[in-house]
Structure 1
Amino acid sequence: MKAAKTAFLAGAMVLSTGFATNWAVTVTETPAGHLIGNPDAEIKLAEYVSYTCSHCAEFARSGDPVLKLVYVRSGKVSVEIRHMLRDPIDLTAAMLTHCGAPDKFAQNHSIFMLKQNEWFPIAVNSTPAQQQRWSVPDRAAAHRAIASDLDFYEIMETRGYQRSEVDRCLADSAKETKLIQASRADSERLGIRGTPSFTINDRLLDGVHRWQELQIALDERTKPAPADGQ
């Protein structure tokens, strides 16, 4: 009887631990981005975003928290963040979100989106001399100039990064090439023309660019099937 009771309690603990898993804090690096959630989720959502896109920043504020809490946390939905690179600023920000271990990505991504209203006006009002520095052939120097002019170093410092670590990430030419190639391939393969855009199980959701629209699409796929006879 005691052994049976012990086995029962052990089984209950396993079940409890399984139900308590918070998939929203699980991050896996992928060939083209980072996946947040259960890698084996039935519904695989992908966000195609640009850091210089105001609509993407709005989605990060209004949609991402609900998406993770309601849909990703349970393990039924995963979300992969993939980059649509529109300009050198986008590329620099994307390289910094990838800086460090994969489990740092989600917060790196969020902080660049949530602080967009602070750094993007600086970019809009940049001088011709600044823009010239951002386009020099030495790509690492160009990324450093962008990071300096737009206060990216200060943003990364709030995430616990030293300047030397940031510079190493900005000089990662292999990562730069990988991000550029993935962005181009996704744009051509899916015909993406605006951001944010979304796919579910690798199928583009036409006309879906806001959280309200995406939520409807997710609810259609996650609601329980009706019981027989109903």
Structure 2
Amino acid sequence: MTFARWFMAAFAALAATAALAATPNWLTVVDTAGGGHRIGNPQAKVKLTEFVSYTCPHCGHFAQEASGALDLYVATGKVQLDIRHVVRDPIDLTAAMLANCGPAARFPRNHAALILAQPRWLPIAERATDGQQSRWYNGPGPARRRAIASDLGFYTIMAGRGYERVAIDRCLNDEALAKRLAAQSRADDEKFNVRSTPSFAIDGTMLAGTYSWSLLQPQLDARL
């Protein structure tokens, strides 16, 4: 190879590397200004909203089926995903608070860790003893949420995300966060009339009869 050809090849490689470096990692771009977590390119052609409850088995099934595939759509910059909590009970609230623990950029993976682990912890919740339910539904909010996190293994899940127990407890003790998440869930219900989970909206319009990736994906593709 002549020097000129070597130089041109090296220049092309450097240009390609620079182009890749200049491309944002849309999966780590998170905007919370609208009350949810908008993940991805703010200029994306398609704006997808997902309404999710951590205690909803169908939401867990959707996450298992779609999380990797949906990430690919967001990663292209063509789809922005807005995840919004549907808070139905203290367990939902506890999981939502842990998903929100730390900087906003950590939310996507916190959320994924909790919802993808649902098959491990939801059966425990469904078989809860009277004593467990008493701890979960009575007393000060922080104590109830710590009991839920302990009984359902949330501390272990969050430890896998790099959180120490003191940091987890700090998030669970945050009453302002608890009130904000509950209020946002009520506001979303009033605005979008969310009747089941998971539910989805594209560009602000709710999708009828859409609860699985096999039903959602064609609707995304049709708009891209």
1:7-86 map, 5 Å:
16-17=19-20, 20-69=23-72, 71-86=73-88
Check conservation: 1:25, 1:37, Cα contact below 8 A: yes
Q: How many residues align?
A: 214
Q: Kindly provide the amino acid, as one letter, of the partner of residue 36 in structure 2.
A: G
**The one of 110, 113, 136 aligned to 2:138:** 136
Q: Kindly provide the amino acid, as one letter, of the partner of residue 38 in structure 1.
A: N
Q: Kindly provide the amino acid, as one letter, of the partner of residue 68 in structure 1.
A: D
Give ranges in structure 2 of 5+ residues lacking alignment: 1-7
Structure 1 residues 15 and 29: alpha-carbon distance in aligned structure 2, compared to 1, 3 A threshold: same
Residue 106 of structure 1 aligns with which residue?
108
Q: Secondary structure at the match of 1:80?
A: strand
In 2, the alpha carbon distance for the partners of 1:68 and 1:178 equals: 27
In 1, the alpha carbon distance for the partners of 2:21 and 2:48 equals: 22
Displacement of 1:14 in angstroms is 9.8
In 1, the alpha carbon distance for the partners of 2:90 and 2:33 equals: 22
Displacement of 1:19 in angstroms is 7.4
In 1, the alpha carbon distance for the partners of 2:184 and 2:33 equals: 11
Residue 211 of structure 1 aligns with which residue?
213
Displacement of 1:212 in angstroms is 0.9
In 2, the alpha carbon distance for the partners of 1:184 and 1:163 equals: 30
Displacement of 1:39 in angstroms is 1.6
Q: Secondary structure at the match of 1:86?
A: coil
In 2, the alpha carbon distance for the partners of 1:13 and 1:58 equals: 39
Displacement of 1:64 in angstroms is 1.9
Structure 1 residues 137 and 151: alpha-carbon distance in aligned structure 2, compared to 1, 3 A threshold: same
Q: Secondary structure at the match of 2:83?
A: strand
TM-score (norm 2): 0.89
In 2, the alpha carbon distance for the partners of 1:220 and 1:31 equals: 26
* Seq. identity, %: 48
**The one of 158, 161, 171 aligned to 1:159:** 161
Q: Kindly provide the amino acid, as one letter, of the partner of residue 92 in structure 1.
A: T
TM-score (norm 1): 0.86
Displacement of 1:21 in angstroms is 3.4
Displacement of 1:146 in angstroms is 0.6
Displacement of 1:30 in angstroms is 3.4
**Residues 115-168 of structure 1, C-alpha deviations (whole Å, 9 max, x = no match):** 111111111111111111111241011101111111111111111111111111
**Residues 75-120 of structure 1, C-alpha deviations (whole Å, 9 max, x = no match):** 1110011001111100000000000111111111111111111111
Structure 1 residues 76 and 195: alpha-carbon distance in aligned structure 2, compared to 1, 3 A threshold: same
Displacement of 1:26 in angstroms is 2.2
Give ranges in structure 1 of 5+ residues lacking alignment: 223-230
Check conservation: 1:44, 1:201, Cα contact below 8 A: yes
Q: Secondary structure at the match of 2:51?
A: strand
In 2, the alpha carbon distance for the partners of 1:31 and 1:21 equals: 21
In 1, the alpha carbon distance for the partners of 2:34 and 2:171 equals: 17
Displacement of 1:24 in angstroms is 2.4
Q: Kindly provide the amino acid, as one letter, of the partner of residue 111 in structure 2.
A: H
Is the counterpart of residue 119 in structure 1 residue 138 in structure 2? no
